[in-house]
């Protein structure tokens, strides 16, 4: 039964409608984003919600990513750790090289405070302490990082450490890091941490105060994160989150000598040349179809807000299975909306059944 259901859904689709179609023309046509020179080995700008790429340069190249690794470290810690649990700083953590907070062996620090030390001060000592306190050791924690990465669709990355110091098998892509950040941004604790400029230790009940070394928080208006990074192999790296017309845009630059300047360049271009438009609202009916003579309504499961680039043509198509001969329950995924920019697919999402339609199936007996 399940195999037939999957086959009936995936084998044959046909186009039902071409609903939204139009041009958005710039009054003052500027240089296309693809031709803007960004001095970085790899770079992307991603709409955090729709996951639409608005800029890319070597987005999928496998490269070292230094301390931008710590976004994934924080994701794993928030999933598996207890924020108010105290973690004892080991000699291994206290003796790690690179950027550190300065935790001393034997100190006991809450996971919550360690995350501030990790993300604001880029503390490698905090990273090791978190890995040991949450995963048992660095190797087990790295396994959790890779498993979680697979789960959220990060398939071109491999993590060996929680801090990002250079290792041959520790790598990611600009696109993967942007996706990881978009997932992390859904967590209010993550947002509170990476958006903080200065943290008073006494007010938080911490052992010390923290100043954020991420200068982008002061350079881009309303920037709300996320993470710096640097090693000899990775070069200067930066992940930024900043709102454009109320929508979070994730910008990643890797091996970028002028990371603040180049990030601002990408941000300013997107702010000028993209308009975010709400095409459909959650709960709107996308399509009404018949299933065994009964009405089945398919609705949008989320608000669909899309960044539209000036001077480009956007179209949408709604797809449905050629035939449905099984019971569909309210909330089931049936059909799909696809959005195209100049004929290129940039977005797709499942439609949701707004009601239940039962289909009786009779068993044939043969003797």
Catalytic machinery residues: 67, 70, 122
DSSP 136: S
3-state class percentages of the chain: helix first, strand second, coil last, to nearest 5: 30, 30, 40
CA distance 89 to 37: 44
Q: CB 229: neighbour CB atoms within 10 A?
A: 25
Whether residue 239 contacts residue 177, with contact meaning beta carbons closer than 8 Å, is answered with yes
Contacts of 204 (CB under 8 A, 6+ apart): 113, 116
Give the residues across from 321 on adjacent strands: 13
Whether residue 158 contacts residue 169, with contact meaning beta carbons closer than 8 Å, is answered with yes
Q: How close are the terminal C-alpha atoms of the chain, in Å?
A: 22
**Residue 324: which of 279, 288, 366 has the closest Cα?**
288
How many residues appear in the chain?
Answer: 367
Tokens coding 155: 């398939």
Q: Outline where 158-250 has alpha helix (H).
A: 174-184, 188-194, 201-204, 216-219
CA distance 352 to 333: 5
Helix (H, G, I), strand (E, B) or coil at 250: strand
């Amino acid at each position: 039964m399940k195999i037939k259901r999957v086959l009936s859904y995936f084998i044959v689709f046909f186009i039902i409608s071409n609903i939204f179609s139009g041009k958005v023309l710039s009054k003052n046509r500027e240089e296309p984003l693809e031709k803007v020179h960004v001095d970085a080995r790899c770079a992307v700008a991603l709409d955090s919600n729709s996951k639409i790429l608005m800029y890319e340069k070597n987005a999928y190249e496998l490269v070292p990513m230094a301390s931008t690794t710590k976004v994934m470290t924080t994701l794993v810690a928030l999933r598996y750790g207890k924020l108010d649990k105290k973690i004892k700083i080991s000699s291994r953590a206290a003796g790690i090289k690179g950027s550190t907070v300065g935790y001393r062996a034997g100190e006991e620090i809450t996971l919550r405070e360690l995350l501030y030390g990790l993300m604001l001060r880029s503390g490698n000592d905090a990273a090791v302490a978190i890995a040991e306190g949450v995963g048992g050791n660095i190797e087990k924690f790295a396994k959790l990082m890779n498993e979680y990465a697979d789960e959220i669709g990060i398939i071109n990355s491999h993590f060996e450490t929680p801090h990002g110091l250079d290792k041959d098998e520790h790598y990611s892509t600009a696109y993967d890091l942007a996706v990881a950040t978009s997932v992390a941004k859904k967590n209010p604790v993550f947002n509170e941490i990476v958006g903080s400029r200065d943290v008073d230790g006494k007010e938080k009940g911490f052992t010390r105060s923290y100043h954020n070394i991420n200068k982008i928080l002061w350079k881009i208006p309303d920037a709300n994160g996320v993470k710096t990074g640097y090693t000899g192999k990775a070069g200067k790296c930066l992940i930024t989150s900043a709102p454009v017309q109320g929508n979070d845009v994730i910008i990643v630059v890797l091996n970028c000598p002028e990371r603040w300047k180049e990030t601002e360049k990408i941000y300013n271009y997107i702010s000028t040349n993209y308009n975010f438009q709400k095409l459909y609202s959650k709960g709107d009916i996308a399509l009404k179809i018949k299933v065994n003579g009964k009405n089945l309504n398919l609705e949008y499961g989320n608000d669909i807000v899309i960044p539209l680039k000036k001077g480009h043509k956007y179209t949408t198509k709604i797809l449905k299975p050629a035939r449905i001969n099984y019971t569909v329950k309210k909330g089931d995924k049936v059909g799909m909306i696809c959005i195209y920019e100049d004929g290129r697919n940039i977005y797709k999402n499942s439609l949701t059944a707004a009601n239940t339609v039962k289909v009786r199936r009779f068993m044939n007996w043969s003797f």
